[in-house]
Chains A and B, each alone.
Chain A
Amino acid sequence: MRDYGTFDIIGPIMIGPSSSHTAGAARLAKVAGIVAGGKIKKVEFLLHGSFARTYKGHGTDKALVAGILNMDPWDENLKKSFNIAVKEGLKFKFTETDLGNVHPNTVKFIITKEDGNITEVTGSSIGGGNILIFNIDGQNVEFTGEYPTILTRHKDLPGVVSKISSILFEENINIANMRVYRNERGKMATMALETDNLISENIMNKIKKIKEIESVKIINPIKEGIQ
């Protein structure tokens, strides 16, 4: 039996009309933007299932663009996100598609950054504004963004994971969940590490200094009253 808190019932404060199709979409896009990192030039949103069928009526499209613009699900500018995107020079496109056997509220982001690099992120809005990111650049990876999350891309060599966990231990950060993913032994691996405490930039920089680390992303929870 889940232990609900007061603000799970009364809350969140959000922009309507739908926690899954609006608030969840904004949250997905914000996380996808953080995963891509850097300045974003262009995004194609591949919409699946209910997202593809009802995105206009629920403002899912506006919420997705708002999230890419780093807005929170309770930002009153969310409904004006298209205009803001135009002003900021962000190009966007919506494509209705079939992503296969995935949750009905799923979107794949194809994000092109100013430097020309492309990041692909796929995730679902699984209800009540909660999300699940399950693929980054073709690599399966699972995290919900409910916990502070550290996402690393590193060489698949012995000791890397322990170097990261040592830094967290030194900083008194408790690890809640940890999963390592790789496509091929000895090549590159991705790790999603969820913690009980917020992750500071200082910690991120320490992890970055580990020589086998290619990239580190910090995704702190998108909840009101936390940031």
Chain B
Amino acid sequence: MFVSSGSELIDICSKESIPIWEYSIRKEMEKSELSREDILVRMKKNLNTMLNSSSYAQDKEVKSVSGLIGGDACMLRKYADRGNTLTGDFMVKAMARAMSSSEVNAAMGKIVACPTAGSCGILPAVIISAAEKLNKTEEDMVNCLFTASGVGIIIAKHATMAGAEGGCQAECGSAAAMGSAAVVEMMGGTPEQALDAAAIVIKNILGLVCDPVAGLVEVPCAKRNIAGTVSALTTADVVMAGVKSKIPFDEVIWAMNKVGKQMAPELRETAQGGIAITPTAKKLKKEIFDKKTSL
């Protein structure tokens, strides 16, 4: 069985002198009784779907089924191409990728739930952007996805990844934490540093509620995928600079789980609180459902 805590994960990786991704692959082989090659092929398929979803809506404007979102990935891409960005091409392109997968998802396109459909923009944007910048290979990206899954497994064991149970911190927060840890390993960081990155990301998103307008995975979800992506990438730099998390990963996950349980049901994907009940959100909801016969 996969170890049940971050501290055990760090111990076992250091004892065997392996990164988190290698441990994740070995455990998956054990659990599924499949060969390493079969497992890598399956993950490569996930990566290919991510490459498509994160680029598709940058080139071609897509509209969501409700008509609420669409076209922003294109806009971000064009802005990056004009070259006058504040945070640099790298960051704006990463944001465009995150928005692309989110828009593809809302338009009934093909995505990888990682860990959920609502947070499907973060991991692809983080890993693909970092790999492009650092001239990494496809194999490196696949390995990254195993680092991410390893971190995700531990979060899932102790907390939740469902917005309906733990709020957005559990969905986009987990996705960003997994992505940041993965990039740290890609950059040559240790398993300990990877989990520090995951811990810092979650601390910075702790308490974020899940409040989808009209109950749809669109507003504010798509832009929260951008925020998660930026947090994952910047935190990787923070950690690679040598900064550590004062609170260990395991305790941060414990806190996240507790905060999720303390959240009122109105703030857990029921569309009865937060942004979802602002006057504009209510107006949008009415517009969507009034025209539903034409959808």
Contacts and interface: CB of A to CB of B under 8 A. Distances in A.
Interface string A1-20: 11111111111111111110
Contact of B1 (A3, A9, A22, A58): A3
A137 interface: no
B205 interface: no
Interface string B58-94: 0000001110000000000000000000000000000
A145 interface: no
B149 A10 contact: yes
B164 A76 contact: no
Nearest to B152: A9
A56 B217 contact: no
B116 A19 contact: yes
Interface of B: 1-2, 4, 24-25, 27-28, 31-32, 39, 42-43, 45-46, 49, 64-66, 104-118, 120, 123, 145-146, 148-150, 152-153, 156-157, 161-162, 164, 178, 214-218, 288-289, 292, 295
Contacts, number: 145
Interface residues of A, number: 38
Name the 8 nearest CB pairs between A and B, nearest first. Answer: A16-B105, A9-B152, A79-B108, A6-B149, A17-B217, A6-B28, A9-B149, A57-B216
A5 B46 CA distance: 15
Q: Which of A2, A13, A17, A54 has the most B CB atoms < 10 Å from its CB? A: A17
Given A6-B39, A6-B43, 8 more contacts: A3-B31, A8-B156, A16-B111, A17-B64, A18-B117, A56-B66, A79-B107, A225-B42
A69 interface: no
A78 interface: yes
Given A3-B2, A11-B113, A17 B106 contact: yes
A92 interface: no
A74 interface: yes
Contacts of A128: 113, 116, 162
